[in-house]
Amino acid sequence: MSTSTSSTTSSTALIQGTSYTSGAGIDVTSTVDAIIASKQAPETAWKNDQTTITNQESALKTLQTEILSIESAFQSLNDFSGVFSCVTATSSDSSVVNVTATSTAATGTHNITVTNLATTGVSYANALTSADSTFTAGNLVFMLGSGAQQTITIPADSTTSTTTTLANAAAYINKQGLGIAASVITDSTGSRLALTSSASGAAASVSVQSAPDGLSFTNVAGKDANLTVDGVPITSSTNKVTSAITGVTLNLTGVPASPITIDVGPDTDKITAAVNSFVTAYNAAITDLNGQFQGTTSTSTSSGYGVLETDSAARQTQSQLLSSISVVTSGNASFKTLGSLGISMGNDGTLSIDSTKLASALDNNYSDVKSFFQSTDSASFAQKFSSLMSEMTDSTRSPIVLDLKCLKSNYEADQENIDDLEANLATLRTTLISKYSTLDALLKTLPTTLDQVETELGFKNTKTSS
């Protein structure tokens, strides 16, 4: 009943001033549109609420990503296979002995003495005039180390029936894939066919046993590398020595005049980088949250604060992050708080690093630093922060996830209200169009009707023909 009264009142206002006797009728479309528009007012509040919800969802998802970054950065410090498992190796002279290490290497110092490098065996022929010089095609028999003899039948060139050139012979040999590489070496004495083993060391030396007429070969045996590691003699067929020290690879490039010292220890550079990553990730989240409650974000509302100003999940996240940093770890001989490692909190809740203090802690008390971040004590910073991260990143129960679900529900409720109102207004529009179309037709016929009435009542003079 109230809708009908309201519609009548609105329509009356819209057609006031219309001359009912003019026959002009009314603008049905404009009249109905105006009535519908007046009834759509509640949609503005619902749509504004949806806009706010969308902005809140975006801000929460950004915060969610920032929390995940904190967890990832902390995990590299907390995980037993993370940066604290990384080791690095250094050489006192990397120009002759370069060194790398994996996480399986034990920390310690090693002394290396290199007697000679591994070399590759080669067999070279007598010199001919040039690479195009010919010799009689035939069988080339060779051995690799003490292996079985192998035979290559070098074919004659297509233009001859008996000979081939050094260049063609080298090309043919290389296509056979027999563990040797053939080349033609040219110098002031002429050109020679050279066969080089594809592997270094004595066991892979190439030696020619017999050759086609016109060629005779000189065999130069390959050598194994000889070195001592902490006084233990080592022989290696290559200059890349991987078995002398567990987890350590020695790359020999020269013979040093004096012993080389190899130091294997924790990779403190990676640990320092990981600590910096953790602080950077933490500060990003805290700075974002501070902006929500202090009005310094790019999504500040008309009140001057962020869209999460009244959001309980954001408040809870900020409070938990701030309190987690001040946890005191018991049972650690040297470090009980982040501050004792050189990681301190400012007035705004962000962290800063005293790089000198952190470096000193890693150099002088490495095991205690490791224990601080990897302690299994339930009351330690490591365990409490790890638990907090698990809670904050839970895909179904974290405060942010639950908040996002609530916002989604509210958005859908607003949309349902909008859809219901629009459906009702669509029905009302149909009714109003029918109603005002009838009225419009009536008003357009009114002048004729009035004219007929006036004639019947004699109010209108009629003309007679004379």
DSSP 77-114: HHSTTSGGG-EEEEETTTTTEEEEE-TTPPPEEEEEEE
pLDDT of residue 359: 97
pLDDT of residue 159: 87
Q: How is residue 65 written in tokens? A: 């990503």
Q: Single out the residue of 364, 321, 320 nearest to residue 342, CA to CA.
A: 364
Domain parsing of the chain, residue ranges: 2-39+404-455, 47-83+269-393, 87-118+225-266, 122-220
pLDDT of residue 457: 81
Helix (H) or strand (E) holding 168: helix 166-174
Strand ranges (DSSP E) for 267-350?
343-345
The rounded average pLDDT for each run of 10 residues, N- to C-terminus, in the chain (466 residues) is: 46 49 76 92 94 94 97 96 95 96 94 97 96 96 95 93 95 96 96 97 96 96 97 97 96 96 96 98 96 68 76 94 88 84 95 97 95 91 95 95 96 95 94 90 80 75 49
397 CB neighbour count, 10 Å cutoff: 8
Write the DSSP symbol of residue 128.
B
pLDDT of residue 333: 67
Cβ atoms of 113 and 259 within 8 Å: the answer is yes
What contacts 36, CB < 8 A, 6 or more positions away?
Answer: 425, 428, 429, 432
Tell me how far apart the alpha carbons of residues 332 and 41 are, in angstroms, rounded to a whole number.
65
What contacts 207, CB < 8 A, 6 or more positions away?
Answer: 121, 123, 142, 143, 219, 221
